[in-house]
Structure 1
Amino acid sequence: MPHKERRNMLIRICLALAVLLLPAAARAGSLPKGLVYLRDADPTIVQDIRYAGSHNFVGRPIKGYLAAECILSEAAAKALKAMQGKLAAKGLSLIVWDCYRPKRAVDDFLRWSRDPARTEMKAEFYPRTDKQSLFALGYLAVRSAHSRGSTVDLGIVPSSFSTPPTPAALPPLKPCTAPKGERFEDGTIDFGTGYDCLDVLGSTSNPRVGAVASANRQMLKAAMRDAGFRSYFREWWHFELANEPFNNGFDFEITASPLSEKPAR
Protein backbone atom coordinates (compact mmCIF):
# COMPACT_ATOMS: atom_id res chain seq x y z
CA MET A 1 0.00 0.00 0.00
CA PRO A 2 1.45 3.42 -0.96
CA HIS A 3 2.62 5.56 1.95
CA LYS A 4 0.03 8.30 1.30
CA GLU A 5 -2.89 5.84 1.31
CA ARG A 6 -1.61 4.17 4.47
CA ARG A 7 -1.33 7.54 6.21
CA ASN A 8 -4.89 8.53 5.20
CA MET A 9 -6.21 5.20 6.45
CA LEU A 10 -4.50 5.71 9.81
CA ILE A 11 -6.00 9.19 10.09
CA ARG A 12 -9.51 7.82 9.43
CA ILE A 13 -9.03 5.08 12.01
CA CYS A 14 -7.81 7.58 14.63
CA LEU A 15 -10.78 9.87 14.00
CA ALA A 16 -13.22 6.99 14.31
CA LEU A 17 -11.63 5.89 17.58
CA ALA A 18 -11.78 9.44 18.93
CA VAL A 19 -15.54 9.56 18.34
CA LEU A 20 -16.08 6.16 19.93
CA LEU A 21 -14.11 7.16 23.01
CA LEU A 22 -16.22 10.28 23.63
CA PRO A 23 -18.70 10.05 26.53
CA ALA A 24 -22.09 9.07 25.18
CA ALA A 25 -23.70 12.39 26.14
CA ALA A 26 -20.99 14.33 24.32
CA ARG A 27 -21.96 12.92 20.92
CA ALA A 28 -24.53 14.98 19.05
CA GLY A 29 -27.99 13.54 19.52
CA SER A 30 -26.88 10.94 22.09
CA LEU A 31 -28.30 10.99 25.62
CA PRO A 32 -27.75 9.05 28.85
CA LYS A 33 -30.05 6.05 29.16
CA GLY A 34 -33.49 7.01 30.43
CA LEU A 35 -33.48 10.53 28.94
CA VAL A 36 -35.13 11.55 25.69
CA TYR A 37 -35.62 14.59 23.51
CA LEU A 38 -39.16 15.86 24.00
CA ARG A 39 -39.21 16.60 20.28
CA ASP A 40 -38.82 12.87 19.63
CA ALA A 41 -41.59 11.98 22.09
CA ASP A 42 -44.07 14.62 20.92
CA PRO A 43 -43.11 17.12 18.20
CA THR A 44 -46.41 19.01 18.61
CA ILE A 45 -45.39 20.50 21.97
CA VAL A 46 -44.10 24.03 21.38
CA GLN A 47 -40.54 24.69 22.53
CA ASP A 48 -39.16 28.14 23.37
CA ILE A 49 -35.99 27.23 25.27
CA ARG A 50 -35.07 30.60 26.72
CA TYR A 51 -31.65 29.75 28.18
CA ALA A 52 -30.30 28.79 24.76
CA GLY A 53 -30.78 32.40 23.65
CA SER A 54 -30.58 35.88 25.13
CA HIS A 55 -34.18 36.57 26.11
CA ASN A 56 -33.85 35.46 29.73
CA PHE A 57 -33.06 37.07 33.09
CA VAL A 58 -29.30 36.92 32.43
CA GLY A 59 -29.45 38.35 28.91
CA ARG A 60 -27.24 35.83 27.10
CA PRO A 61 -27.08 32.08 26.34
CA ILE A 62 -26.42 30.08 29.50
CA LYS A 63 -23.49 27.67 29.78
CA GLY A 64 -24.36 24.16 28.70
CA TYR A 65 -27.14 25.16 26.29
CA LEU A 66 -25.62 24.48 22.88
CA ALA A 67 -29.05 23.92 21.32
CA ALA A 68 -32.61 25.02 22.02
CA GLU A 69 -33.82 21.55 22.98
CA CYS A 70 -36.00 20.12 25.75
CA ILE A 71 -34.54 16.96 27.27
CA LEU A 72 -36.50 15.02 29.90
CA SER A 73 -36.69 11.61 31.51
CA GLU A 74 -38.76 9.13 29.53
CA ALA A 75 -41.40 9.16 32.26
CA ALA A 76 -41.73 12.95 32.25
CA ALA A 77 -41.88 13.12 28.45
CA LYS A 78 -44.54 10.39 28.35
CA ALA A 79 -46.64 12.29 30.91
CA LEU A 80 -46.42 15.53 28.92
CA LYS A 81 -47.34 13.69 25.70
CA ALA A 82 -50.50 12.38 27.37
CA MET A 83 -51.37 15.84 28.68
CA GLN A 84 -50.76 17.35 25.23
CA GLY A 85 -53.35 14.99 23.78
CA LYS A 86 -55.95 16.20 26.26
CA LEU A 87 -55.14 19.86 25.59
CA ALA A 88 -55.29 19.37 21.81
CA ALA A 89 -58.92 18.31 22.14
CA LYS A 90 -59.57 21.76 23.62
CA GLY A 91 -57.62 23.67 20.97
CA LEU A 92 -54.66 24.20 23.29
CA SER A 93 -51.02 23.15 23.48
CA LEU A 94 -48.18 23.02 25.97
CA ILE A 95 -45.23 25.36 25.55
CA VAL A 96 -41.98 24.49 27.35
CA TRP A 97 -39.33 27.03 28.30
CA ASP A 98 -36.83 24.88 30.19
CA CYS A 99 -36.41 21.17 30.89
CA TYR A 100 -33.16 19.38 31.79
CA ARG A 101 -30.65 21.96 33.01
CA PRO A 102 -26.93 21.10 33.21
CA LYS A 103 -25.24 21.69 36.54
CA ARG A 104 -22.82 24.03 34.79
CA ALA A 105 -25.82 26.23 33.94
CA VAL A 106 -26.82 26.34 37.61
CA ASP A 107 -23.26 27.37 38.47
CA ASP A 108 -23.46 30.02 35.75
CA PHE A 109 -26.55 31.48 37.44
CA LEU A 110 -24.72 31.57 40.77
CA ARG A 111 -21.72 33.43 39.33
CA TRP A 112 -24.05 35.89 37.61
CA SER A 113 -25.98 36.57 40.83
CA ARG A 114 -22.74 37.60 42.55
CA ASP A 115 -21.88 40.20 39.91
CA PRO A 116 -23.78 43.39 40.80
CA ALA A 117 -22.81 45.03 37.50
CA ARG A 118 -24.82 42.63 35.33
CA THR A 119 -28.40 43.87 35.51
CA GLU A 120 -29.22 44.23 31.80
CA MET A 121 -32.51 42.32 32.04
CA LYS A 122 -33.74 43.63 35.40
CA ALA A 123 -36.41 45.86 33.86
CA GLU A 124 -38.25 42.81 32.51
CA PHE A 125 -37.51 39.77 34.66
CA TYR A 126 -36.93 41.10 38.19
CA PRO A 127 -37.99 44.78 38.19
CA ARG A 128 -38.74 44.82 41.94
CA THR A 129 -36.30 42.19 43.22
CA ASP A 130 -32.65 42.50 44.27
CA LYS A 131 -30.71 40.07 42.06
CA GLN A 132 -28.36 39.16 44.91
CA SER A 133 -31.39 37.82 46.81
CA LEU A 134 -32.67 35.52 44.05
CA PHE A 135 -31.14 32.38 45.61
CA ALA A 136 -32.17 33.30 49.15
CA LEU A 137 -35.74 34.01 48.01
CA GLY A 138 -36.01 30.61 46.32
CA TYR A 139 -36.17 31.72 42.69
CA LEU A 140 -32.85 30.03 41.95
CA ALA A 141 -31.23 27.03 43.63
CA VAL A 142 -27.63 25.95 44.11
CA ARG A 143 -28.81 22.40 43.32
CA SER A 144 -31.62 22.58 40.80
CA ALA A 145 -34.26 19.87 40.38
CA HIS A 146 -34.02 20.60 36.65
CA SER A 147 -30.63 18.86 36.57
CA ARG A 148 -32.28 15.52 37.40
CA GLY A 149 -34.20 15.61 34.13
CA SER A 150 -37.81 15.37 35.32
CA THR A 151 -38.56 19.04 36.03
CA VAL A 152 -40.05 21.35 33.44
CA ASP A 153 -41.02 25.02 33.11
CA LEU A 154 -44.11 25.35 30.94
CA GLY A 155 -47.34 27.13 30.09
CA ILE A 156 -50.30 26.78 27.72
CA VAL A 157 -50.82 28.41 24.32
CA PRO A 158 -53.53 28.10 21.65
CA SER A 159 -52.89 25.16 19.30
CA SER A 160 -52.44 27.63 16.45
CA PHE A 161 -49.44 29.25 18.15
CA SER A 162 -45.92 28.56 16.93
CA THR A 163 -42.72 30.06 18.29
CA PRO A 164 -41.74 33.11 16.26
CA PRO A 165 -38.27 33.28 14.69
CA THR A 166 -35.54 34.41 17.07
CA PRO A 167 -35.14 38.19 16.64
CA ALA A 168 -31.77 39.61 15.69
CA ALA A 169 -31.95 41.88 18.74
CA LEU A 170 -33.68 41.58 22.10
CA PRO A 171 -37.22 42.95 22.17
CA PRO A 172 -37.80 46.16 24.16
CA LEU A 173 -37.83 45.30 27.86
CA LYS A 174 -41.22 45.48 29.54
CA PRO A 175 -41.93 44.48 33.17
CA CYS A 176 -43.01 40.86 33.45
CA THR A 177 -45.43 42.07 36.13
CA ALA A 178 -47.37 44.25 33.67
CA PRO A 179 -50.83 43.13 32.47
CA LYS A 180 -51.13 40.89 29.42
CA GLY A 181 -51.02 43.08 26.34
CA GLU A 182 -48.43 45.34 27.96
CA ARG A 183 -45.70 42.85 28.94
CA PHE A 184 -43.72 40.74 26.47
CA GLU A 185 -46.14 38.65 24.41
CA ASP A 186 -45.13 34.99 24.80
CA GLY A 187 -48.29 33.59 23.21
CA THR A 188 -49.72 32.00 26.36
CA ILE A 189 -53.19 32.32 27.76
CA ASP A 190 -53.11 34.85 30.59
CA PHE A 191 -51.14 33.58 33.59
CA GLY A 192 -50.73 36.98 35.22
CA THR A 193 -47.00 37.39 34.55
CA GLY A 194 -44.44 36.41 31.96
CA TYR A 195 -42.25 33.33 32.27
CA ASP A 196 -39.37 33.57 34.77
CA CYS A 197 -40.93 36.59 36.42
CA LEU A 198 -38.80 36.63 39.58
CA ASP A 199 -41.35 38.50 41.63
CA VAL A 200 -44.02 37.78 44.24
CA LEU A 201 -46.64 38.01 41.48
CA GLY A 202 -45.15 34.81 40.05
CA SER A 203 -46.34 32.83 43.07
CA THR A 204 -49.03 30.38 41.95
CA SER A 205 -51.73 31.48 44.40
CA ASN A 206 -51.07 35.22 44.46
CA PRO A 207 -54.59 36.72 44.14
CA ARG A 208 -53.32 40.07 42.86
CA VAL A 209 -52.96 38.74 39.29
CA GLY A 210 -56.73 38.80 38.83
CA ALA A 211 -59.51 36.25 38.40
CA VAL A 212 -58.71 35.09 34.85
CA ALA A 213 -55.00 34.55 35.48
CA SER A 214 -55.70 32.87 38.83
CA ALA A 215 -58.14 30.47 37.20
CA ASN A 216 -55.64 29.65 34.44
CA ARG A 217 -52.90 28.98 36.99
CA GLN A 218 -55.12 26.65 38.97
CA MET A 219 -56.21 24.88 35.78
CA LEU A 220 -52.56 24.32 34.81
CA LYS A 221 -51.68 23.17 38.32
CA ALA A 222 -54.58 20.68 38.40
CA ALA A 223 -53.79 19.32 34.92
CA MET A 224 -50.13 18.85 35.81
CA ARG A 225 -51.07 17.19 39.10
CA ASP A 226 -53.25 14.73 37.19
CA ALA A 227 -50.28 14.08 34.89
CA GLY A 228 -48.12 13.18 37.90
CA PHE A 229 -46.31 16.45 38.58
CA ARG A 230 -46.13 18.59 41.71
CA SER A 231 -46.04 22.37 41.51
CA TYR A 232 -43.71 24.91 43.13
CA PHE A 233 -45.60 27.63 44.98
CA ARG A 234 -43.19 30.45 44.07
CA GLU A 235 -43.35 29.87 40.30
CA TRP A 236 -46.60 29.06 38.50
CA TRP A 237 -44.62 27.61 35.54
CA HIS A 238 -42.41 25.15 37.48
CA PHE A 239 -43.35 21.47 37.84
CA GLU A 240 -41.47 18.39 39.08
CA LEU A 241 -42.43 14.79 38.30
CA ALA A 242 -43.52 13.27 41.62
CA ASN A 243 -41.96 9.86 40.93
CA GLU A 244 -38.83 10.98 39.14
CA PRO A 245 -36.42 8.20 38.14
CA PHE A 246 -33.11 9.94 38.87
CA ASN A 247 -31.85 11.03 42.30
CA ASN A 248 -28.70 12.78 41.11
CA GLY A 249 -28.22 15.59 38.63
CA PHE A 250 -26.51 15.47 35.24
CA ASP A 251 -24.01 17.89 33.73
CA PHE A 252 -23.78 17.07 30.04
CA GLU A 253 -24.25 19.82 27.46
CA ILE A 254 -27.53 20.13 25.60
CA THR A 255 -27.02 19.40 21.90
CA ALA A 256 -29.45 19.18 19.01
CA SER A 257 -31.85 16.32 18.48
CA PRO A 258 -31.52 14.56 15.14
CA LEU A 259 -35.11 15.72 14.50
CA SER A 260 -34.38 19.36 15.33
CA GLU A 261 -33.84 20.27 11.69
CA LYS A 262 -37.44 19.29 10.93
CA PRO A 263 -40.35 21.65 11.70
CA ALA A 264 -41.76 20.96 15.18
CA ARG A 265 -45.38 21.70 14.21
Structure 2
Amino acid sequence: MKSLSYLLLFLVGFNSGLAQTKELLKGFTYIKAQIPDIKLDIRYAGSNNFIGKPVDAYHQPAGILTKIATEALATAQKDLMSQGFCLKIFDAYRPQTAVNHFIEWARNPGDTLTKSKFYPEIAKKDLFQLGYIASKSGHSRGSTVDLTILNANTGKELDMGSGYDFFGDISHHNTDKITKEQKANRSLLKRIMIKNGFRPYPEEWWHYTLRNEPYPETYFDFPVR
Protein backbone atom coordinates (compact mmCIF):
# COMPACT_ATOMS: atom_id res chain seq x y z
CA MET A 1 0.00 0.00 0.00
CA LYS A 2 2.88 2.34 0.85
CA SER A 3 4.45 1.64 -2.55
CA LEU A 4 1.18 2.55 -4.25
CA SER A 5 1.06 5.84 -2.31
CA TYR A 6 4.58 6.75 -3.40
CA LEU A 7 3.68 5.91 -7.00
CA LEU A 8 0.62 8.16 -6.85
CA LEU A 9 2.68 11.02 -5.38
CA PHE A 10 5.24 10.59 -8.13
CA LEU A 11 2.59 10.64 -10.85
CA VAL A 12 0.95 13.75 -9.38
CA GLY A 13 4.29 15.56 -9.32
CA PHE A 14 5.12 14.36 -12.82
CA ASN A 15 1.79 15.50 -14.20
CA SER A 16 2.13 18.88 -12.42
CA GLY A 17 5.45 19.38 -14.18
CA LEU A 18 3.86 18.62 -17.52
CA ALA A 19 1.04 21.07 -16.83
CA GLN A 20 3.55 23.79 -15.99
CA THR A 21 5.43 23.20 -19.22
CA LYS A 22 2.23 23.23 -21.28
CA GLU A 23 1.32 26.66 -19.89
CA LEU A 24 4.22 28.22 -21.77
CA LEU A 25 3.56 29.59 -25.21
CA LYS A 26 5.17 27.84 -28.14
CA GLY A 27 8.71 29.07 -28.53
CA PHE A 28 9.36 29.59 -24.81
CA THR A 29 11.09 27.38 -22.27
CA TYR A 30 12.20 27.25 -18.64
CA ILE A 31 15.86 28.25 -18.40
CA LYS A 32 16.69 25.82 -15.61
CA ALA A 33 15.25 22.88 -17.55
CA GLN A 34 17.66 23.56 -20.41
CA ILE A 35 20.67 24.78 -18.36
CA PRO A 36 20.60 22.80 -15.07
CA ASP A 37 23.85 24.27 -13.69
CA ILE A 38 22.80 27.91 -14.10
CA LYS A 39 21.78 29.80 -10.94
CA LEU A 40 18.48 31.64 -10.51
CA ASP A 41 17.73 34.55 -8.19
CA ILE A 42 14.47 35.86 -9.64
CA ARG A 43 14.19 39.05 -7.64
CA TYR A 44 10.69 40.11 -8.68
CA ALA A 45 9.20 36.94 -7.22
CA GLY A 46 10.33 38.07 -3.75
CA SER A 47 10.88 41.29 -1.82
CA ASN A 48 14.54 42.00 -2.63
CA ASN A 49 13.76 44.45 -5.42
CA PHE A 50 13.12 48.17 -5.92
CA ILE A 51 9.40 47.78 -5.16
CA GLY A 52 10.13 45.91 -1.94
CA LYS A 53 7.56 43.13 -2.44
CA PRO A 54 6.63 40.43 -4.97
CA VAL A 55 5.70 41.90 -8.33
CA ASP A 56 2.38 41.15 -9.99
CA ALA A 57 2.37 38.06 -12.28
CA TYR A 58 5.51 36.56 -10.69
CA HIS A 59 3.86 33.57 -9.01
CA GLN A 60 7.05 31.49 -8.82
CA PRO A 61 10.79 32.32 -8.93
CA ALA A 62 11.10 30.75 -12.38
CA GLY A 63 13.26 31.93 -15.25
CA ILE A 64 11.61 31.83 -18.68
CA LEU A 65 13.02 32.81 -22.08
CA THR A 66 12.41 32.08 -25.72
CA LYS A 67 14.00 28.81 -26.77
CA ILE A 68 16.45 30.51 -29.11
CA ALA A 69 17.59 32.92 -26.36
CA THR A 70 17.98 30.01 -23.94
CA GLU A 71 20.13 28.14 -26.45
CA ALA A 72 22.41 31.17 -26.79
CA LEU A 73 22.53 31.54 -23.02
CA ALA A 74 23.53 27.88 -22.70
CA THR A 75 26.60 28.46 -24.84
CA ALA A 76 27.50 31.52 -22.75
CA GLN A 77 27.19 29.42 -19.60
CA LYS A 78 29.39 26.72 -21.12
CA ASP A 79 32.06 29.29 -21.98
CA LEU A 80 32.05 30.65 -18.44
CA MET A 81 32.03 27.24 -16.77
CA SER A 82 35.19 26.34 -18.67
CA GLN A 83 36.82 29.33 -16.93
CA GLY A 84 35.53 28.48 -13.46
CA PHE A 85 32.56 30.84 -13.51
CA CYS A 86 28.78 30.51 -13.66
CA LEU A 87 25.87 32.70 -14.73
CA LYS A 88 23.27 33.90 -12.25
CA ILE A 89 19.90 35.14 -13.53
CA PHE A 90 18.00 37.96 -11.82
CA ASP A 91 15.20 38.28 -14.38
CA ALA A 92 14.30 36.98 -17.82
CA TYR A 93 10.86 37.06 -19.45
CA ARG A 94 8.73 39.71 -17.70
CA PRO A 95 4.94 39.85 -18.13
CA GLN A 96 3.38 43.16 -19.18
CA THR A 97 1.32 42.94 -15.98
CA ALA A 98 4.57 43.22 -14.01
CA VAL A 99 5.62 46.25 -16.05
CA ASN A 100 2.26 47.84 -15.25
CA HIS A 101 2.96 47.19 -11.56
CA PHE A 102 6.24 49.10 -11.91
CA ILE A 103 4.36 52.02 -13.47
CA GLU A 104 1.79 52.04 -10.67
CA TRP A 105 4.56 51.99 -8.06
CA ALA A 106 6.47 54.82 -9.75
CA ARG A 107 3.35 57.02 -9.70
CA ASN A 108 3.01 56.67 -5.93
CA PRO A 109 5.38 59.34 -4.51
CA GLY A 110 4.77 58.27 -0.94
CA ASP A 111 6.20 54.77 -1.40
CA THR A 112 9.95 55.23 -0.94
CA LEU A 113 10.63 52.12 1.15
CA THR A 114 13.56 51.01 -1.01
CA LYS A 115 15.01 54.42 -1.94
CA SER A 116 18.20 54.13 0.15
CA LYS A 117 19.15 50.84 -1.52
CA PHE A 118 18.05 51.27 -5.13
CA TYR A 119 17.81 54.99 -5.97
CA PRO A 120 19.39 57.08 -3.17
CA GLU A 121 20.44 59.98 -5.43
CA ILE A 122 17.37 60.13 -7.69
CA ALA A 123 13.94 61.59 -6.95
CA LYS A 124 11.24 59.00 -7.52
CA LYS A 125 9.27 61.46 -9.65
CA ASP A 126 12.15 61.51 -12.14
CA LEU A 127 12.33 57.75 -12.73
CA PHE A 128 10.11 57.97 -15.83
CA GLN A 129 11.94 60.95 -17.34
CA LEU A 130 15.33 59.34 -16.81
CA GLY A 131 14.21 56.09 -18.42
CA TYR A 132 14.44 53.78 -15.43
CA ILE A 133 10.72 53.00 -15.60
CA ALA A 134 8.92 52.67 -18.95
CA SER A 135 5.52 51.60 -20.22
CA LYS A 136 7.08 48.75 -22.21
CA SER A 137 10.04 46.49 -21.49
CA GLY A 138 12.18 44.40 -23.83
CA HIS A 139 11.90 41.67 -21.21
CA SER A 140 8.26 41.18 -22.21
CA ARG A 141 9.37 40.13 -25.68
CA GLY A 142 10.99 37.10 -24.08
CA SER A 143 14.62 37.33 -25.20
CA THR A 144 16.10 39.77 -22.68
CA VAL A 145 17.87 38.65 -19.53
CA ASP A 146 19.32 40.35 -16.43
CA LEU A 147 22.30 38.49 -15.04
CA THR A 148 25.70 38.46 -13.38
CA ILE A 149 28.62 36.09 -12.88
CA LEU A 150 29.43 33.83 -9.94
CA ASN A 151 32.63 32.07 -8.95
CA ALA A 152 31.61 28.47 -9.70
CA ASN A 153 33.58 27.10 -6.75
CA THR A 154 32.54 29.54 -4.03
CA GLY A 155 29.15 30.65 -5.37
CA LYS A 156 30.13 34.25 -4.69
CA GLU A 157 29.10 36.98 -7.13
CA LEU A 158 31.86 38.87 -8.89
CA ASP A 159 32.03 42.50 -7.80
CA MET A 160 30.39 44.57 -10.52
CA GLY A 161 30.60 47.90 -8.71
CA SER A 162 26.87 48.30 -8.13
CA GLY A 163 23.97 46.06 -7.22
CA TYR A 164 21.35 44.73 -9.56
CA ASP A 165 18.67 47.32 -10.41
CA PHE A 166 20.59 50.18 -8.84
CA PHE A 167 19.31 53.36 -10.49
CA GLY A 168 22.31 55.60 -11.08
CA ASP A 169 25.31 56.41 -13.27
CA ILE A 170 27.45 53.81 -11.54
CA SER A 171 25.37 51.09 -13.23
CA HIS A 172 26.22 52.41 -16.71
CA HIS A 173 28.80 50.56 -18.82
CA ASN A 174 30.83 53.73 -19.37
CA THR A 175 30.94 54.84 -15.74
CA ASP A 176 34.20 56.09 -14.27
CA LYS A 177 33.04 55.41 -10.72
CA ILE A 178 34.21 51.79 -10.46
CA THR A 179 37.58 50.12 -9.88
CA LYS A 180 39.70 48.34 -12.49
CA GLU A 181 38.68 44.98 -11.04
CA GLN A 182 34.99 45.85 -11.19
CA LYS A 183 35.38 47.07 -14.76
CA ALA A 184 37.19 43.84 -15.68
CA ASN A 185 34.36 41.79 -14.20
CA ARG A 186 31.78 43.73 -16.21
CA SER A 187 33.93 43.34 -19.31
CA LEU A 188 34.05 39.57 -18.83
CA LEU A 189 30.24 39.39 -18.73
CA LYS A 190 29.93 41.74 -21.70
CA ARG A 191 32.48 39.84 -23.77
CA ILE A 192 30.84 36.46 -23.14
CA MET A 193 27.34 37.73 -23.87
CA ILE A 194 28.28 39.57 -27.07
CA LYS A 195 30.21 36.51 -28.27
CA ASN A 196 27.05 34.44 -27.87
CA GLY A 197 24.69 36.74 -29.70
CA PHE A 198 23.46 39.22 -27.08
CA ARG A 199 23.71 43.00 -27.14
CA PRO A 200 24.27 45.08 -23.98
CA TYR A 201 22.13 47.95 -22.72
CA PRO A 202 24.43 50.93 -22.02
CA GLU A 203 22.69 52.08 -18.82
CA GLU A 204 22.55 48.67 -17.06
CA TRP A 205 25.58 46.39 -16.82
CA TRP A 206 23.32 43.37 -16.12
CA HIS A 207 20.90 43.76 -19.06
CA TYR A 208 21.32 41.86 -22.36
CA THR A 209 18.99 41.20 -25.32
CA LEU A 210 19.38 38.53 -28.00
CA ARG A 211 20.30 40.30 -31.25
CA ASN A 212 18.09 38.14 -33.44
CA GLU A 213 15.17 37.93 -31.01
CA PRO A 214 12.22 36.00 -32.49
CA TYR A 215 9.46 38.35 -31.31
CA PRO A 216 10.87 41.89 -31.71
CA GLU A 217 7.45 43.56 -31.87
CA THR A 218 5.43 41.38 -29.46
CA TYR A 219 4.96 42.06 -25.74
CA PHE A 220 3.67 38.99 -23.91
CA ASP A 221 1.64 38.84 -20.73
CA PHE A 222 1.44 35.25 -19.53
CA PRO A 223 2.40 34.85 -15.83
CA VAL A 224 5.68 33.51 -14.48
CA ARG A 225 4.85 30.28 -12.68
TM-score by length of 2: 0.88
Aligned partner of 2:20 in structure 1 is 28
Matches of 2:190 and 2:143, distance apart in 1: 16
Q: Which residue of 2 aligns with 1:220?
A: 189
Q: Structure 2: where are the runs of 5+ without partners?
A: 1-18
The reply to whether residue 45 of structure 1 matches residue 14 of structure 2 is no
Q: Which moved more, 1:149-158 or 1:199-208?
A: 199-208
Superposed CA RMSD = 1.1
The residue number in structure 2 matching 1:239 is 208
Aligned partner of 2:82 among 57, 67, 89: 89
Structure 1 unpaired stretches of 5+:
1-26, 163-186, 256-265
CA distance in 1, matches of 2:170, 2:93: 25
Matches within 5 A, 1:1-265: 28-29=20-21, 30-161=23-154, 187-246=156-215, 247-255=217-225
Distance of 1:229 and 1:134 partners within structure 2: 26
1:97 and 1:196 map into 2 onto residues whose CA distance is 9
Q: Percent identical across equivalent pairs?
A: 42
Higher helix share: 2
In structure 2, the residue corresponding to 1:101 is in which secondary structure?
coil
What is the TM-score of this pair, normalised by structure 1? Answer: 0.75
- Residues 120-152 of structure 1: CA deviation (Å, up to 9, x unaligned): 111111111112222221222211000000000
Q: Can you list the C-alpha shifts for 1:225-251, whole angstroms capped at 9, x where unaligned? A: 111011011000000111000120100
Q: In structure 1, how many angstroms separate the alpha carbons of the residues matched to 2:157 and 2:125? A: 29
Deviation at 1:161, TM superposition (A): 4.8
Opposite residue 215 of structure 1, the aligned amino acid is A
1:28 corresponds to which letter in structure 2? Q
Letter in 1 for 2:35: D
Runs ≥4 residues deviating over 3 A: none
Aligned length: 205
